[in-house]
Amino acid sequence: MLSDDLKQQIQQAYSTFLEKKKLKPRYGQRLMIAEIAKGLAGVPQDADGKRNGDGHVVVVEAGTGTGKTLAYLLGVMPVAKAMGKKVVLATATVALQDQVVNKDIPEILRNSGFSFSYALAKGRGRYLCLSKLDRLMTPGQDAGTTLALWEDFQQYAVDKHEAELYRAMDQAVEARTWDGDRDGWSDSIDDLTWRRVTNDHRGCTGRSCGFYEDCPFYMARNDIYRADLIVANHDLVLADLAMGGGIVLPAPEDTIYIFDEGHHLPDKALNHFACSSQVRSTLSWLQDLVKMLDSLVESSDAQGMAAGVAATVRDVNESLAENLNLLLAALTPLAEQTEQVESEQGKLVYRFENGVVPDALREQAAQLLPPSRELVKQLQLVVDWLQEGMEGKRSDIAKPDAEAWMPLMSTQLARAEALMTVWMRYELSDEENRAPVARWLNFSQSNQGLDVELSACPVLASDVLARYLWSRAFAAVVTSATLTALGNFERFRFRSGVPPASQFSVVPSPFDYQNCGKIVVPDLACDPTQGAKHTDQLVAYIERIWQNQRGTLVLFSSRRQMDEVFESLPEYVQEAVLAQGRLGKAEMVRRHKEAVDAGNHSVLFGLASFAEGVDLPGEYCSCVVIARLPFSVPEDPVDATLAEWIQKRGGNPFMQISVPDAAIRLKQAVGRLLRTESDRGEIVIFDRRIIDKRYGKLLLQSLPPFPLIRQ
């Protein structure tokens, strides 16, 4: 129950914010604040403040222009402080995370009169590892150990430019002009260059590290422990939960989570629980692993334990290599039985129907599982030994050597565990009444010949999220502009597994859709299944309308069609087009805005990533052209396996999966037009199916209420 005192705090903060910013109250924003605060205040608790029931998840769809950040922070923070709970705000991307921290929260604190402390949380991989930097900066220290191995096995040689960069980093940390956060460095840093001086949870030696007191990651974590609100991203939250929860972020049981852009959450969760392994690259890695262990024995006094592990691993690897070669021989013929091609990656894909692999393959996975488990066991022994060495408890390895070897061997352990997971996924059968695991093979050419990658991924994140998140969190708020599909939350329920007692609401956008824009379906548009004709007509249409407005965004579902349309346009039109793939996304947007500001016409050609997260207000985008309805590629192994499962249960995969998914993507694309209440423009859907097919009418009904024009 929301107390009168909390109601007063929230109302006062909201009124003060509006007054200081000289803004008018928005009905949808007020409704969102109320729904969140009321939902959280009603979470059932026991005498110790622990949740003792469901009904703790609040799901709110709030359209563009609602002002979601203000709404959820004013709805959550007063309630959380009153309950003594931590709040973790998870955004979909690091970029949005930075915007919330650097712009939105300071503005709310400055203008609302309500106060709370906050901190930014990022994974270890965003922070400098002082131990690694020190070894790179100390001549000869790595000559016989870690750096030499990196150079031998991964071509990690440091060039002159990189050496100067590392020296500058060292000086900046020493002078305290840089806190070790990659995103705070003044220039961009190449991924490979950065990986040499960062770490993950497996490679980090924690309190055993000589640089622990000054470690950028742990200094940032200290801020997290003190803060009322921690701003993270979906990936970090899911990684923390997968490790058991409360590792980097507060314990889930004492945390209220806010998931902004929450429609991404199910897919993000699937990515965290997918696994894969390439056979030929694994064979090469096993050979290198033996060399690494031999070098470790040579560089220490570990003639006992480490030498024993090296000998055991050599025997284990012989067994693994023998079985992997048999597996490669058995799977290679399957490459000739499929014509499915992932055009982006150039891989042949062979998918196992219903996720069920042949008995012979299951048996091969079962043969690979015991030696893989033994490999994990042996590498764990090495890591434990190195940990003791770093703590000064071993006489057979010096502490500096243990510190140098720990990150490398921890990485090898992680890879061995990932390999074991693949064989487990292929050896086990799925439970009869649960959603299956998708299993498929990717074939690609390597220097040694045809390679095969075995992949597996759950088809639904519902079970994973129910187990790791919803069952453990004290409470959660999920919000986005695109949570409903075809007018209801069923798609999100199905994919996310939120508890049945969750609270769902839709708050209205402040935009006047009837008068600010329109949806146009040109007579020239045809059914995109008429491939060449559709492309030709789209070229003709763009050539005709590109100068009708300053800024135009054309969204494609296919890179091939995007390239074909661009190449077919007259040269004078091409000069005004910025096409994805030829420039980086940020640079495209910058040049586009620059052209529009100069009074010129500019056209952006983009794929799915331009249908979401691109902010082009005003004249920067007064026309959005959607080349075709955004149905997913039917060959996607996970979607195809999910469709089979639904059909097996008597459902209609097209209406239950394909159409709702397309509705979400279409709504995201349409959302590129109106970014502020003063924006005006039109959305062109160049696909006759939107008016000719029954499902097209359902898709139209799920969009904001723009007038429909046929021309």
pLDDT digits (tens, 9 = 90+) for 2-17: 899 999 999 999 999 9
What are the residue ranges in the chain where pLDDT is below 70?
A: 139-157, 300-304, 339-347, 634
Judge contact between 227 and 221, C-beta under 8 A: no
The answer to whether residues 169 and 141 belong to one domain is yes
Strands 708-710 and 517-521: parallel
d(CA 660, CA 548): 33
Task: Give 478's contacts (C-beta < 8 A, 6+ positions apart).
Answer: 57, 58, 59, 60, 259, 262, 265, 492, 496, 498
Burial of 368 (0-12, 13-18, 19+ CB in 10 A): buried
Taking a C-beta distance cutoff of 8 angstroms, is the pair 428, 331 a contact? no
Check whether residue 498 and residue 533 sit in a common domain. Answer: no
Same domain, yes or no: 183 and 323: no
617 plus 678 within the same structural domain: yes
pLDDT score for 157: 61
Q: Are residues 499 and 524 in the same domain?
A: no
Domain boundary among 476, 507, 538: 507
Q: Are residues 59 and 110 in the same domain?
A: yes
486 & 339 share domain: no
| Range(s) of the domain holding residue 401 | 277-458
Predicted local distance difference test score (pLDDT) of residue 302 = 53
CATH of the domain at 550: 3.40.50.300
Domain count, the chain: 4
Task: Give the containing element (helix H, strand E) for 518.
Answer: strand 517-521
Does residue 292 share a domain with residue 256?
Answer: no
Closest CA to 675 of 616, 619, 589: 616
303 and 381, same domain (yes or no): yes
Query: Which residues lie across from 181 on neighbouring strands?
Result: 127
Q: Say if residue 555 is in the same domain as residue 475.
A: no
Q: Decide which of 507, 535, 567 is a domain's last residue.
A: 507
Residue 163 and residue 285 in one domain? no
Q: What is the C-alpha separation between 615 and 612, in angstroms, rounded?
A: 9
451-482 residue pLDDT tens? 999 999 999 999 999 999 999 999 999 999 99
Burial 301-328 (b: 16+ CB within 10 A, else e): ebeebbbebbebbeebbebbeebbeebb
* 95 and 237 assigned to the same domain: yes
